[in-house]
Amino acid sequence: MVAADGALTNGIADASVRDVRSQAGGIALVLAGIAWAVWFFLESAAPRLGFDDTDNPAVSLEFLRAHSIVYAQMGVALMVLSMSLVGAVLAVGDRIGARGTPLTSRSTTVFGLFSAAFFLGHAALRLSAGPILHIDSLNSNWGEAAYITIQMVGIHLMAQVGLLAFSLWALGVAIVGWRSRAIPRWLSALAIVPALRLATLLGPLGFDGPDVVWLAFMISIAGTVVWLVLFGLVLLRRPGAADGTGGIHA
């Protein structure tokens, strides 16, 4: 009888710990979704403020001189996104790891952490508006060169790899979650929307037109926000329900 009571107590304690971790992951997912939306909204600030040709370093430097605060805000949003993703990826990894194939689950978690790391690197570059403007004050040609460097390393390296790794993470979560029922199947199916980002690889490979690639990219942006927030709300509302345990009430 004592042994049975002890096992029951330990089982309830373990379930309580799982619920706390699941709820923390839910909060992290919602924060990541909000930070994702803020980041992309701020990325479109330059055209909205009349600086249309952002590929022109002279135009972008004018934007930085007038609105450098926007880059600082993007950097903060990306830092929140990166930190939130770490907690979210690890929490989701615990959930799918308990029910899925270990190698697949761990590989999925690695892709998610890669995404968080590259978003953090992009955040650091977005917070570098001050140094760029200082270099520009010394020599305008140096300023343009500094901006182009930040643009290529930030947008075309850090951000692109971060988005690609995130798409692979979402796809891995969808596959493992669907097969193991570690998360609701409708949520696994919805993960295909953020994974649409992978379709943008078709453009450089010459398999599709730029309009289709652009459309897939835009859908994936909005879909990622919705998926992250819904995923977080599911974990917050019923921590144990998504993996079929029912929480401590089981």
pLDDT in tens, 151-195: 899 988 999 999 999 999 999 998 888 888 888 989 989 988 888
Tokens of 208: 């599709």
Q: How many domains does the chain have?
A: 1
pLDDT value of position 182: 82
C-alpha–C-alpha distance, residues 2 and 90, integer Å: 35
Residue 136, domain extent: 2-249
Percent of the residues in the chain that have a pLDDT greater than 70, as a whole number: 80
C-alpha–C-alpha distance, residues 7 and 13, integer Å: 10
Q: How would DSSP label each residue in 72-84? A: HHHHHHHHHHHHH
C-alpha–C-alpha distance, residues 2 and 132, integer Å: 69
C-alpha–C-alpha distance, residues 72 and 45, integer Å: 13
33 close to 223: Cβ distance less than 8 angstroms: no
Q: Of 4-8, 151-155, 194-198, where does mean pLDDT reach its minimum?
A: 4-8
More confident position, 29 or 239: 29
Rounded mean pLDDT, 14-30: 77
Q: What is the pLDDT of residues 91-136, one digit of tens each?
A: 998 888 766 577 788 889 999 999 999 999 999 999 999 999 999 9
242 close to 235: Cβ distance less than 8 angstroms: yes
C-alpha–C-alpha distance, residues 188 and 100, integer Å: 13
204 close to 120: Cβ distance less than 8 angstroms: no
The full length of the chain comes to 250
Strongest mean pLDDT among 83-87, 102-106, 241-245: 83-87
Question: Residue holding tokens 């952002």?
Answer: 54
CA distances from 160 to 37, 69, 90, 167, 197 (A): 16, 23, 22, 11, 10
Q: What is the pTM of this model?
A: 0.83
pLDDT value of position 14: 46
